[in-house]
Amino acid sequence: MSEPLKSLPLTRASVEAAHKAIKEHIHYTPVVTSKTLNDLASTPQMVEGASQIPARPKMRLFFKCENYQKVGAFKSRGAFHALSRLSKDQLSKGVVTHSSAWPQEILSDVFVALSIVQLWSSGPLFYLCSALALAARTHGVKAYIVMPTISTPSKIAATKGYGAEVIFSGSTSQEREAVVEDVIKRTNATLIPPYDHPDIILGQGTMALELEEQVQELIQRDKSLTVHGDNSEQENGHSTMNGSSIHDKDDLVQSRGRRAGHLDAVIAPLGGGGMLSGIATALFGTGTRVFGAEPSFEGADDGRRGLEANERITSVKTLTIADGLRTPVGKINWPIISDKSKVKGVYAVTEEQILSAMRLVIERMKVFVEPSAV
């Protein structure tokens, strides 16, 4: 694909251009909300032993359902945009990437706990492989996918089903990357990285543009879905986003007089950082605050820890249930995520909190999502 320095600049305008390039190839996934979840989020939380009065939040939550995207994940956006940026000569030689593999038994206890055996079984790179294979088939391009020999038959069949040539390798990243290099030497195919490239970032950011538009449309039809219109709490120094005091002068100015349908904040999962960086790029300058969320299990919260240490953490070894977030933040994504004007903060959650959130979404919203999404 194009060299990072030759890619479009990481701006909202570039995200808009990316959306124009890919929208005929992707699903316009739905945005849903839930009165039950809104009421739960708006209930004051008493902290044992705390002396101060609990906050009085007034929140409305909106969920962008990328689980209904082609291949079942947002990765289709970045894959289609990456191919749209390749030259005819590059396309004629094909594209290549590699998939990870995680032993099924790692998640068996969790599957039993939720009584939804094998609801998810894809590693963090599998969705990219499927997305790239689909995008390549759509454009009549050859796709080479390097997969470990221990990959599940369903993953292999799914990848082949999109028309890709599957080439097997060992299970470690070093072994996979070595086979990828052999493929490139043999075919001159272009490597498409899973998240650490401007073209991928811009493609993933297109979901934020749709989210903005869809929330506005929902609120136009149902005014009860907005918390804006009464600025009394804001005038007294409270934010309707979370009920806590606003200490940032710019945030206070932005919070006053907001139009119905304006998003106060967006929270996105953080693994390699393609989605979070893309959303932060798309929403920069709009007044919407962007936050990242990641698991804390076995050091999976490399983003949060990196921000505290003021340096990117380059290696993550964790078996968190949120298998799509087991990767360190990418080099290109890090300057965006560590920029406070673009990403306000990154927060970590426990495995128990992830399971509770999954159960809540499944029981109350009837939406099946993977652990990395909640």
The string of DSSP letters for 115-174 reads: T-TTS----TTHHHHHHHHHHHHHTT--EEEEEETTS-HHHHHHHHHTTPEEEEE-SSHH
What local confidence, expressed as pLDDT, does residue 249 receive?
A: 46
Stretch 4-32: mean pLDDT, rounded? Answer: 93
Q: How confident is the model at residue 126 (pLDDT cuts 50, 70, 90)?
A: low
Please state, rounded to an integer, the average pLDDT across all residues of the chain.
85
Stretch 25-52: mean pLDDT, rounded? Answer: 88
Show which residues are catalytic. Answer: 75, 100
CA distance 280 to 42: 25
What local confidence, expressed as pLDDT, does residue 22 receive?
A: 98
Q: How far apart are the first and last CA of the chain?
A: 31
Element (H, E) at 276: helix 274-283
Element (H, E) at 353: helix 351-360
Q: How confident is the model at residue 14 (pLDDT cuts 50, 70, 90)?
A: very high
Q: What is the pTM of this model?
A: 0.85
Q: How confident is the model at residue 111 (pLDDT cuts 50, 70, 90)?
A: very low
Q: How confident is the model at residue 310 (pLDDT cuts 50, 70, 90)?
A: very high
Instruction: List, as one string, the DSSP characters of 281-296.
Output: HHHTTTT-EEEEEEE-
What percentage of the chain carries pLDDT values higher than 90? Answer: 65
pLDDT single digits (tens) 316-330: 888 899 888 888 999
What percentage of the chain carries pLDDT values higher than 70? Answer: 82
Q: By mean pLDDT, which of 106-110, 139-143, 282-286 is the weakest? A: 106-110
CA distance 186 to 144: 11
Whether the per-residue pLDDT at 236 is higher than 70: the answer is: no
Whether the per-residue pLDDT at 1 is higher than 80: the answer is: no
What local confidence, expressed as pLDDT, does residue 50 receive?
A: 66
What local confidence, expressed as pLDDT, does residue 101 receive?
A: 52
Whether the per-residue pLDDT at 214 is higher than 80: the answer is: yes
pLDDT single digits (tens) 128-156: 889 999 999 999 999 999 988 887 788 88
Listed residue (6, 143, 165) closest to 79, CA to CA: 143
Considering only residues 235 and 82, tell me which one the structure prediction assigns the higher pLDDT. 82
What local confidence, expressed as pLDDT, does residue 289 receive?
A: 97
Q: How confident is the model at residue 44 (pLDDT cuts 50, 70, 90)?
A: confident
